[in-house]
Amino acid sequence: MVTSDLIRSSLRLIGAISSSEAPAADEAMDALEALNMMLNSWGAVRFLSKNTPTITHTLNGSTSYTVGIGGDINVTRPTSIYTAIYTLGSQDYAVKVLDYADYVEITTKNLGGTIPEFVTLKPDYPLSTLYVFPAINGGVLNLSTVRPSAELDINDDIQNIYPPEWIRAIKYNLAIEIAPEYGVTVAPEIVAIAKEAKDTVMRSMVTIPRAKFDPLLQTRDSFNILGGGF
């Protein structure tokens, strides 16, 4: 299935075209624009971002780095960071991700150090700004990020880009997205399917960590929770 097929399916759902019709060229391009705007909006949300690629960057002692196409870190502009790991040699260190408002309250931002304690992202446009505290020279920062989706072309094979559950969610939600342009009230059944399909995508992006028993809660002289005795 190429993008134009998906657009045709969405238009059929709202009755904008019949099953035997193909959309006019301008209709298809308008729907493509709406599709990419919708996917870019989804891409700003962690659990609706098709992938959460890791950004790696060697630190050079700066307190901040621009992030985006043409920036210090030349990648697709991220909208948020949710985990950060600092690697020095063979050792990894967890780094706390700080809200930008909290970072602003740090009075002295140019302190040096051996390991970064905090990172924060200010999602400006066209370049976001990554702040590192304290400033570190050397080592690699690994950031798990959320980035907007790459835009689709009308002839892209979306089955090579999105898994089946995503295609279903995109089809039904695009129908709702474009319906106002045709003066159409979307049937409740379509709204319900669109919501259920989108929820399925979000659930598929969630990884639930395994529960771990804290060994500090159990000592030789304390109650043995696992064994049920003393």
Structure tokens at 142: 């690994």
Number of Cα atoms under 13 Å in the Cβ half of residue 178: 28
Is-contact 108 67, C-beta < 8 A? no
- With CA atoms as reference, report the closest residue to 132 among 160, 159, 113: 113
What dihedral angle (degrees, nearest 10) is formed by the CA atoms of 152, 156, 161, 167? Answer: 80
Which H or E run includes 110?
none
Q: What is the pTM of this model?
A: 0.63
CB atoms within 10 A of CB 147: 23
Could you give the maximum distance between any two Cα atoms of the chain, in Å? 78
Please state, in angstroms and rounded to a whole number, the distance separating the CA atoms of residues 108 and 106. 6
Per-residue pLDDT 10s for the chain (230 aa) are 999 999 999 999 999 999 899 999 999 999 999 999 998 888 767 667 666 678 999 999 999 999 999 999 998 888 888 889 999 999 999 999 998 888 888 887 777 678 999 999 998 889 999 999 999 999 999 998 877 777 899 999 988 888 888 899 999 999 999 999 999 999 999 999 999 999 998 887 665 445 555 444 554 454 454 455 54
User: How far is 207 from 28, CA to CA, in rounded Å?
Assistant: 36
CA distance to 29, 51, 177, 220, 221, per residue, from 144 (Å): 33, 10, 30, 40, 42
Structure tokens belonging to residue 105: 């309250």
Residues in CB range of 155: below 8 A, 6 or more apart: 2, 3, 4
